[in-house]
Amino acid sequence: MDDAARLDLIFEAGLSSRDAVTAISGRGVGMDVVRANIEQTGGRIALTNQPGKGLRIVIHVPLTLSILSTIIVGVGTQRFALARQSIEEIVKVRGDQVRIDAIGDAVAVSVRGRRMPLVSLGALFGLGIGDPSTLVIVSTREGDYALGVDDVLDTEELVVKPASPQVMATGVYAGQTLPDSGLPMLLLDGAGIAAAAGLRFAPITIADTVDAEDVAPGIAALLFEDLDGHRRVLALAVIDRVEPVPTASICWSAGAMRLAVGEAIIPLHMVGDLADRTEVAVLRLTDGDSEMAYAIAEAIEIVTLPAHIAPARGTGPIAGVVMIAGEQVEVVDPYALFASEPVRPASRPVCLLHSDGSGWMETFLTPALEASGYRCVTRLGVDETAAIVLAMDDASIEPRVAPVVTLRRNRTGAGADDGSIYRYDRPALIEEIARRMMADPVAPPVRMAWPTTTAIGGRG
């Protein structure tokens, strides 16, 4: 056997290099399953072995297998995915800004004076005959149209691969996906849906075009209904995503409203109260470095902020007021929101705890010190420098690289020259840490920031 044939034995079912079966190996099942699944997607796997250097495994997959950013829409009891790159905006069907008109057998929709054909996904697929409550504006090469759905449920990064030939032959699907829920889902083809609905887009004539110089620049913003019932707008660039969260994950703690996301806790801004809600929509905001959340009642649509903004009086998270569709709408100031965000852990002075193994420092000192603006660690990371070191009076300290504050177990010291601090005297401990950091030339300069939070109704 040549080298390639010997390497190919790896994929033989039932062949194992183990003489005995263990809990994790020896059954000869594994690589044959890997190759079968790769070849099922139209790909292949190749092995190249160099004795003494290692084995290189190269997996080739077709271009149709890719990761795509999508939104998940619901129609009746079914869910479908749509590529985000084909979506221009999402609009709720309500108010005077959206009007649906029947023109013979066709249906058209006007969104802020912009007219386009409407395709009800439920009617097209036979999943319902009710009027859609949400419009997804889909852009295709031929033109734009509004896709009517029951709701927009989520956003996900999904792996897309070809569906079966019978499914792809319909022309309305671009592939299949497997979201986090584990339930297979089909990816809609925006252009295919337009063709299946019989849409015919009129070509744009020269008379209909407008010079780019005549178009006033504008800032895209999300119009939403806040928890206090007022409509507000926030610049779209600062919004990472909109997602529903259970109200049980929101808690007023340590003087601020906070949202628990997995193992992380991020600050939350909220206007009004949650009342009897069990779930609330949250805007996940980011400035590229940190993130926070903004609880809202409902996202309405994407709008363009007018050029004229009436400035607000005083300071706070409202920048001013604009007119949108004849209504005064408050503009949320993202600068004020992030300026009121608590100091991030990475920017806090590092407090190195010289732990004696009992766990006392980690349990008792860490919460008190971190509430005072420090970040406690028991071991320094790579390129990390301690601003202060805390140690018990009987600990053996190596040559210092930062000021050392010594803690004693006894309430009273050994004498006038005893510079240690009683370990349960919190005010004296905090004062001594700050004094040593400012006075000791070894300590790096420290700038403490104590943010303030301004509410615009309810608790903020």
- DSSP, res 67: E
Instruction: Name the residue with higher pLDDT: 218 or 18.
Output: 18
Which of 204-213, 383-392, 402-411 shows the lowest per-residue confidence on average (mean pLDDT)? 204-213
Would you say residue 194 has pLDDT above 80? yes
Contacts of 149 (CB under 8 A, 6+ apart): 73, 74, 75, 121, 122, 132, 133, 134, 135, 136
Give the pLDDT of residue 210. 41
At residue 400, the pLDDT reads 64
Res 64: pLDDT? 59
Confidence (pLDDT) at 294: 92
pLDDT digit string (tens) for 238-247? 888 787 888 8
* Beta strands across the sheet bearing 87-92: 87-92, 134-139, 144-149, 114-120, 106-111, 98-103
- Of 40 and 210, which is predicted with more confidence? 40
Tens digit of each residue's pLDDT (9 = 90 or more) over 124-142 = 888 876 778 889 999 887 7
Q: Are 91 and 142 in contact (CB under 8 A)?
A: no
Within 226-326, strands assigned E span 231-235, 239-246, 250-253, 256-261, 264-270, 279-286, 291-296, 298-305, 310-311, 318-324
Partnered with residue 144 across adjacent β-strands are 139
The pLDDT of residue 443 is above 60: no
Q: How far apart are CA 323 and CA 309, in angstroms?
A: 8
The answer to whether the beta carbons of residues 386 and 361 sit under 8 Å apart is no
Q: Give me the domains of the chain, ranges plus CATH numbers.
A: 3-60 (no CATH), 66-196 (2.30.30.40), 219-339 (2.40.50.180), 350-439 (3.40.50.2300)
Average pLDDT over residues 21-30: 78
Quote the strand ranges of 23-65, DSSP E: 44-50, 54-60
Per-residue model confidence (pLDDT) at position 440: 58
d(CA 69, CA 158): 6
296, pLDDT greater than 70: yes
Residue 205 scores a pLDDT above 70: no
Residue 136 CA: distances (Å) to CA of 203, 216, 251? 22, 25, 34
Confidence check: pLDDT of 311 > 60: yes
Which tokens hold the place of 246?
A: 């259970």
Alpha carbon distance 110, 116 (integer Å): 7
Residue 258 token pair? 């906070």
Number of H helices, E strands in the chain: 9, 30
d(CA 115, CA 236): 23
Written as six digits, the tokens of 260 are: 């628990």
Q: What integer is the mean pLDDT of 177-190?
A: 85
| Residue 399: strand, helix, or coil | coil
| The pLDDT of residue 341 | 54
Measure CA 163 to chain center: 29
Residue 291 is predicted with a pLDDT of 83
Read off the pLDDT band of 42 (50, 70, 90). low
Backbone torsion region of residue 26, taken as left when φ is above 0, otherwise alpha when ψ lies between -120 and 50, otherwise beta: left
Which conformational region is residue 93 in: left (phi greater than 0), alpha (psi within -120 to 50 degrees), or beta?
beta
Q: How far apart are CA 307 and CA 327, in angstroms?
A: 15
> What's the mean per-residue pLDDT of the chain?
79
Mean pLDDT confidence for 30-52:
82
Residue-level pLDDT at 398 = 66
CB of 213 closer than 8 Å to CB of 232? no
Q: Which residues pair with 110 in a beta bridge?
A: 99, 115
Is the pLDDT assigned to residue 209 strictly greater than 50?
A: no
154: enclosing H helix or E strand: strand 151-161
What pLDDT, on the 0 to 100 scale, is given for residue 347? 54
The model's pTM: 0.37
Confidence class of residue 304 from pLDDT cuts 50, 70 and 90?
confident
Whole-angstrom CA distances from 179 to 127, 154, 173, 407 are 21, 11, 16, 53
The better pLDDT of the pair 314, 268 is held by: 268
Per-residue pLDDT reduced to its tens digit, 92-122: 887 667 877 765 456 778 887 777 888 989 8
Q: What percent of the chain has pLDDT above 90? A: 5
The stretch 200-210 carries a mean pLDDT of: 45
* pLDDT above 90: residue 80: yes
Reported confidence tier of residue 123, pLDDT bands at 50, 70, 90: confident
Least confident interval from 238-252, 298-312, 414-428, 439-453: 439-453
Q: Is the pLDDT of residue 342 over 50?
A: no
Mean pLDDT of 17-26: 80
In contact, 239 and 284? CB cutoff 8 Å: yes
Structure tokens, 90: 């999402």
What pLDDT is stored for residue 442 in this prediction? 44
For residue 34, the SS3 value is helix
DSSP category for residue 361? I
Give the pLDDT score at 233. 92
Token pair in block for residue 106 = 């066709």
Give the residue ranges of DSSP H helices in 327-425. Answer: 334-339, 360, 366-371
Share of the chain above pLDDT 70, in %: 83
H or E element at residue 146: strand 144-149
As given in the structure block, the two tokens for residue 407 are 């803690």
Confidence of residue 186 (pLDDT cuts 50, 70, 90): very high
